[in-house]
């Protein structure tokens, strides 16, 4: 590439150099900047670079200079994202089960562009796509976009819904028939992504794993469920639904040893009301979608936690426990 052949891109390449090569801990001298421009086939005079730095300021990109001995150094100050914020974004991508291994790597590579190449090396030490379970449905990334589009256009969607069989193959539910629902929200819970929708066939709110949805089509028909979602509280829905398993919603009273209070604050939030029983025990009442997943959670908390009411839930736990123990007799 002949020197000076890319002059019309001088300003663009200069911004690229300052973004990639400098940060608050790394800077370049003017000679180094001119040398980096030369690698792109751009020649420049120092005076024009100073003018370009002023123009960058008009774009909100501040270039600072610092005197170190007899040399003057220049670096880009500040970023759209701080290094800690980029690390947080990468952690989120890595932990999200609904993003495939392949797409995780692509997204992380893009996120790294928010920082300088020096900072990216620090990120590389923490980046690893581990062996945690991730979805194998490559279309999930585009499913999310389709669902958002349907919500924004106030339209229903239809899709085929899948489950795993014993041969580790995805098979369509309901004999491959399309599900038609009204999407209203997307919810990230327990590392999975769910679509919360209104099913006007059953006249109830349901949720679906986005990575198990395929062949999504946006319908011409407008969404149903406006009244049901008018005062819908997504946070309460998530707290009440254990592992996103469906179940009848009931007000459940739970008695627990006071030292276990943190478990319930983590699950239900600080607004949950604790009622004192005695010096060692308290109770709470919460809306719970009662399911086997909820029973499993209660059992996992040990002998210091007991479901007190309603009676039908207590009886259901007793019956479930009897059936469970029979398997080990």
pLDDT at 5: 64
pLDDT at 180: 95
Can you spell out the DSSP letters for 200-231? Answer: TTTTEEEEEEGGGEEEEEEEEEEP--HHHHHT
pLDDT at 318: 92
- Contact, 308 vs 284, CB < 8 A? no
Burial of residue 134 (number of CB atoms within 10 Å: 0-12, 13-18, 19+): buried
Reported in sequence order, the residue ranges of the chain that DSSP labels E, i.e. its strands, are 28-29, 62-68, 71-77, 155-164, 170-172, 179-189, 192-199, 204-209, 213-222, 248-257, 275-276, 281-290, 305-309
pLDDT at 325: 87
- Please state whether the predicted TM-score (pTM) of the whole model is above 0.85: no
pLDDT at 134: 62
Fold of the 146-232 domain: SH3 type barrels. (2.30.30)
Domain spanning 7-77, CATH architecture? Orthogonal Bundle (1.10)
**How would you write the pLDDT of the chain (329 residues) with one tens digit per residue?**
444 567 888 999 998 998 889 988 889 999 999 999 988 888 888 899 999 999 988 888 889 989 988 899 999 887 878 887 888 788 778 777 777 778 888 888 888 888 888 888 777 655 554 445 566 666 777 888 899 899 999 999 999 998 877 776 778 988 899 999 999 988 877 667 889 999 988 888 888 988 889 999 999 999 999 888 888 877 777 766 655 566 788 899 999 999 888 888 877 877 788 999 999 999 999 888 888 888 888 888 999 999 999 999 999 999 989 988 888 87
Fold of the 242-326 domain: Alpha-Beta Plaits (3.30.70)
pLDDT at 59: 82
**Ranges of each domain in the chain:** 7-77, 83-126, 146-232, 242-326
pLDDT at 2: 47
């Amino acid at each position: 590439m002949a020197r000076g052949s890319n002059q019309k891109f001088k300003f663009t390449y200069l911004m690229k150099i300052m973004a990639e090569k400098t940060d608050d801990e790394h800077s370049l001298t003017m000679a180094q900047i001119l040398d980096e421009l030369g690698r792109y086939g751009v020649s420049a005079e120092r005076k024009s670079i100073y003018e370009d730095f002023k123009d960058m300021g008009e774009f909100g990109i501040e270039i600072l200079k610092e005197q170190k001995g007899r040399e003057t150094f220049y670096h880009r100050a500040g970023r759209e994202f701080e290094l800690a914020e980029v690390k947080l974004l990468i952690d989120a991508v890595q932990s999200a089960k609904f993003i495939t291994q392949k797409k995780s790597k692509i997204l992380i590579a893009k996120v790294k562009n928010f920082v300088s190449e020096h900072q990216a090396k620090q990120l590389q030490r923490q980046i690893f796509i581990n062996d945690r379970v991730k979805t194998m449905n490559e279309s999930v990334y585009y499913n999310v976009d389709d669902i958002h589009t349907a919500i924004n256009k106030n339209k229903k969607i239809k899709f085929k819904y899948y489950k795993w069989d014993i041969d580790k193959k995805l098979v369509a539910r309901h004999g491959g028939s399309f599900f038609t629902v009204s999407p209203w929200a997307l919810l990230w819970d327990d590392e999975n992504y769910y679509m919360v929708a209104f099913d006007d066939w059953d006249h109830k709110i349901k949720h679906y794993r986005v990575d198990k949805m395929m062949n999504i089509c946006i319908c011409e028909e407008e969404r149903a469920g406006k009244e049901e979602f008018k005062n819908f509280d997504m946070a309460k829905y998530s707290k009440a639904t254990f592992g996103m398993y469906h179940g009848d919603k009931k007000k459940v009273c739970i008695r627990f040893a006071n030292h276990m209070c943190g478990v319930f604050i983590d699950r239900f939030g600080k607004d949950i009301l604790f009622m004192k029983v005695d010096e060692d025990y308290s109770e709470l009442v919460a809306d719970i979608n009662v399911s086997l997943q909820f029973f499993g959670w209660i059992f996992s908390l040990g002998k210091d936690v007991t479901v007190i009411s309603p009676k039908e839930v207590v009886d259901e736990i007793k019956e479930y426990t009897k059936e469970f123990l029979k398997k080990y007799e």
